[in-house]
Amino acid sequence: MDETRQILLRVEDLSVSFEGKNFVQAVEHVSLEVFTGDRLCIIGETGSGKSILLLAILRLLSPTARVTGSVRYRDQDLFRLTEKQLDAIRGSRISYVPQGSGNGMNPLLRVGFQVAEPLIAHRGMKRKPAEARAVELLRRFHLGREETIARQYPFTYSGGMRQRALIAMGISAGAELLFADEPTKGLDETRVLLTAEAFNALEGQTLVCVTHDLNFARRVSSRVCVMYAANQVEAAPTEELFRKPLHPYTRDMLAAMPENGLRFRPGYAPAHNDADTAGCKYRLRCDRCSEKCRQTPPMFDVGGHQVRCWQYE
């Protein structure tokens, strides 16, 4: 490993539940480390806890969520900081582009100014140079006619354009750690490729990205974390994971890709607290299931490739 890399983010044993009549365990005992320069993609089916994991790390969940575990960003324990201390980090050091944020722009402000705003707020730049920089950033995401559209209001943009403008805004202040949730949702294939290119061209920024798009994940990430039913089930360097997936869920997910023949294994993730599905969460869909799988498997380390499955005990 490159000795100059430093640990930026350490998530330890993070769990999130929503208590009450409809108890939901949204994230269960997730641990991960992110080093400077890493490109981590989090993949997994809908409802597996990907967005809640990001929100919990950034302490953006509502008070109804019960969060346990710890999150360290450099030498700071994010769960012990005051709101004021956190605000000083969010935006300037860590930025976040939420899921479905295409409509999240202020409709009353020109897009160029909104992209420039973090530079003015966090980097003390004057408005004119900040707006010139905003045009450059929009250009990176290939919005087209960037000088002109920077002067336009968000309603003149398509959803995909707004999504990319928000990513430009997310990276504008040069935050060293960028969280992006489904940055390619709703984009056509060409725009997905251009977004991947723009992410790959980011320099000095570390990326944590949630995506459903496995090809996009393969293009932009150096590591992949796979989630299933609130659990992290596999984590590995990207090429290794795509070439040699270990967990049955990851294998089934890759087999269901169109280029791999759309071999889809039916079934859903178990409902929370369902006694039939105690033990491995993938038990009811897995073709390798054995008696042992009635017990919850821990994460096993297979030569730096982590997998939560009894087959690798």
Q: Quick check: 4 binds ligand ATP (CB under 6 A)?
A: no
47 binds ligand ATP, rule: CB under 6 A: yes
Residue 198: closest CA among 164, 157, 151, 173: 164
Which CB sits closer to Mg ion, 51 or 184?
51
Write the interaction track for ligand ATP spanning residues 48-87; mark x where CB under 6 A is met and - where it is not: xxxxx-----------------------------------
SS3 at position 293: helix
The closest of 305, 297, 303, 312 to 228, measured between CA atoms, is 297
Query: Could you say which of 51, 172, 184, 231 contacts Mg ion (CB under 5 A)?
Result: 51
Q: Which does residue 283 touch among ligand SF4, Mg ion, ligand ATP, none (CB within 5 to 8 A, set by kind)?
A: ligand SF4
Binding site for ligand SF4 (CB under 6 A): 248, 280, 282-283, 286, 288-289, 293, 297, 309-311
Nearest CA to 31 among 59, 10, 2? Answer: 10
Min separation Cβ 44 and Mg ion, Å: 9
Q: Confirm if 122 and 90 have CB atoms less than 8 A apart.
A: no
Select the span of 41-49, 164-172, 187-195, 287-295 touching ligand ATP (CB under 6 A).
Answer: 41-49
Q: Which of 94, 168, 158 is nearest to 133 (CA)?
A: 168
* Both structure tokens of 170: 């997310």
Residues contacting ligand ATP: total by CB under 6 A: 13
Q: Nearer Cβ to ligand ATP, position 57 or 173?
A: 57
Contact between residue 127 and residue 135 where contact means Cβ atoms under 8 Å apart: no
Chain centroid offset of residue 90 CA: 16
Q: Rounded to the nearest whole angstrom, what is the least distance from the CB of residue 14 to ligand SF4 in the complex?
A: 21
CA-based max dimension of the chain: 67
By CB under 5 A, the residues from 92 to 121 that bind Mg ion are 99
Q: Does 277 bind ligand ATP (CB under 6 A)?
A: no
Q: Which is nearer to ligand ATP, 37 or 44 (CB)?
A: 44
- C-beta of residue 175 within 8 angstroms of C-beta of residue 205: yes
| H-state helical runs in the chain | 50-57, 83-89, 111-123, 127-140, 146-149, 159-172, 189-200, 214-220, 238-243, 248-255
Of 70, 68, 35, 28, the closest CA to residue 299 belongs to 28
Q: What, of Mg ion, ligand SF4, ligand ATP, none, does residue 67 touch, CB below 5 to 8 Å by kind?
A: none
Question: Minimum CB separation from ligand SF4 for residue 43, in Å?
Answer: 16
Tell me whether residue 45 or residue 197 sits nearer to ligand ATP (CB atom): 45
Q: Can you give the binding site for ligand ATP, defined by CB under 6 A?
A: 18, 24, 26, 44, 46-52, 99, 212
